[in-house]
Copies of this chain bind each other. A is one copy, B any other.
Amino acid sequence: MDFAPSARAADLIERVGRFIEDRIVPVEADYHRQVSTARDRGDDPWTPLPLLSRLRAQAREQGLWNLFLPAAHAGDYAQRFGTHGGAGLSNTDYAPIAELTGRSFLAPHVFNCNAPDSGNMEVLLHYGDRAQRDRWLDPLLDGSIRSAFAMTEPDVASSDATNMAATAVLDGDQVVLNGRKWWTTGIGHPDCQVIVFMGLTDADAPKRHRHTMVLVPVDSPGVTVERMLPAMGRYDEPFGHGEVSFHDVRVPAANILLGPGRAFEIAQGRLGPGRVHHCMRLIGLAETALEAACRRGLDRSAFGKPLAALGGNRERIARARIAIDSARLLVLNAAWKLDTVGAFGALSEISQIKAHVPTVAQEVIDFAMQIHGGAGLSDDFALSAAWTTARAIRLADGPDEVHLDLVGRLELAKHTDRS
């Protein structure tokens, strides 16, 4: 159990932290203001502002790019891409970087480490063939295109992924897609060029061998973005979440990932590091909320005392500190297990953090909103958007309940022989 970052990671952590502090934080509030008022000025809120491209260029120049890329594969890519290939960090090494990027809504994108692109890049890295990697992975690593992930469906309980009813049917050397997806994250970005689509191929196969993952160019005939979906009233520009219909969409069978019926195999592998990233970013988000709460608690006074000294506020600050610190250690431990025993060995740990950390973040942020009074609900502080992020992740990548159930089953399994 050694969670200390390597010397190389320590240097990157320091530089990422400085970049965020010096270059992103100072411009972030203004950036969001511009996005939220874009429509009033007749602008399209879905077009990223030029500032973002400049920041991305700087990050890339400094080698702060694709750092999420897993150690095992980063070697090849580092060779191929130079600094674009990531730094060969372990999950334990990358975790503190993910925490830092969570302190800002822009940072993950600036460093080309944002969901769902990072997850899609991992999928391509692990499961894509040479042609697929050339066509999609290289420009994603390069940052010149974006991608979307289409699994959840509006008409079925998508917490059980075997429920997915959209179809991916083989027809000669093509695969034909039909159905309706929603919460297709990333589809709103103007640079989004490919959708990772999960569809039902063989309803008679064993449950976890029925579905197929297919790479679908966004401009394929039959693909329609029906609407963009707000989460708690927010659209999360420029990535966003779309409702997307697929009507007789035909793509070459060569676009199938790994092979027909192997979607679950891929999904499993995809989600371990992604959940560590989500959770560490939420730790970073919760830290910013607690810092804001402390500052507000010291700066404002009521009934003759700083807010922090009133009622149970100091206790709430203490409980937030305890909750964040123990949650961070839990995530670091999951990352370390992922590094040392692999995704299957870390099954419980990964589900534990996914079931636990978003609620911790949500509660810390809720407290921070409360101590800010009305300001906490407004957009003047990033707390309201932060809350929405934490809340949404309680559903994304499997709702809390599914993860708790898995943790419970694994715990009970330890005793089934003995009982």
- State which of B308, B330, B373 has its C-beta within 8 Å of the C-beta of A322: B330
- State which of B310, B326, B379 has its C-beta within 8 Å of the C-beta of A329: B326
Are A318's CB and B405's CB within 8 A?
yes
The smallest beta-carbon distance between A20 and chain B, in angstroms, is 17
On chain B, the residues within 8 Å of A231 by CB distance are: 374, 377-378, 384
User: Which of A300, A311, A387, A416 neighbours the largest number of chain B CB atoms within 10 Å of its CB?
Assistant: A311
A232 to B299, CA, bound (A): 23
The smallest beta-carbon distance between A35 and chain B, in angstroms, is 12
A364 to B195, CA, bound (A): 36
Given A159-B302, A233-B233, A300-B157; A407-B322 close (CB under 8 Å): yes
A2 to B400, CA, bound (A): 30
Are A412's CB and B294's CB within 8 A?
yes
- State which of B310, B332, B377, B392 has its C-beta within 8 Å of the C-beta of A232: B377
Report if A291 contacts B (CB, 8 A): yes
* 9-residue interface stretch from A54-62, A211-219, A250-258, A348-356: A348-356
On chain B, the residues within 8 Å of A355 by CB distance are: 318, 322
Are A404's CB and B330's CB within 8 A?
no
Given A163-B302, A295-B418; A409-B374 close (CB under 8 Å): no
Given A231-B377, A326-B329; A311-B308 close (CB under 8 Å): no
A311 to B408, CA, bound (A): 10
The smallest beta-carbon distance between A262 and chain B, in angstroms, is 21
The smallest beta-carbon distance between A195 and chain B, in angstroms, is 17
On chain B, the residues within 8 Å of A152 by CB distance are: 373-374
Report if A21 contacts B (CB, 8 A): no
Closest chain B residue, CB of each to CB of A303: B160
Closest chain B residue, CB of each to CB of A330: B326
Given A230-B378, A231-B378, A395-B377; A333-B322 close (CB under 8 Å): no
- The interface size bin for chain A is 35 or more
A395 to B378, CA, bound (A): 12
Closest chain B residue, CB of each to CB of A159: B302
Closest chain B residue, CB of each to CB of A385: B233
Report if A89 contacts B (CB, 8 A): no
Report if A375 contacts B (CB, 8 A): yes
Given A373-B159, A415-B294; A408-B332 close (CB under 8 Å): no
Given A2-B1, A311-B312, A377-B231; A157-B408 close (CB under 8 Å): no
In the complex, which residues 374-410 of chain A have their Cβ closer than 8 Å to any Cβ of chain B?
374-379, 384-385, 387-388, 391-392, 394-395, 399-401, 403-409
Report if A144 contacts B (CB, 8 A): no
Are B317's CB and A408's CB within 8 A?
yes
Closest chain B residue, CB of each to CB of A394: B370
Are A154's CB and B2's CB within 8 A?
no
On chain B, the residues within 8 Å of A326 by CB distance are: 326-327, 329-330, 356
Are A317's CB and B412's CB within 8 A?
yes
Given contacts A230-B379, A308-B408, A370-B400, 16 further A-B contacts (CB under 8 A): A1-B3, A156-B300, A157-B302, A231-B374, A231-B378, A294-B419, A311-B314, A315-B408, A317-B408, A318-B403, A321-B408, A322-B330, A325-B330, A326-B326, A370-B401, A373-B399
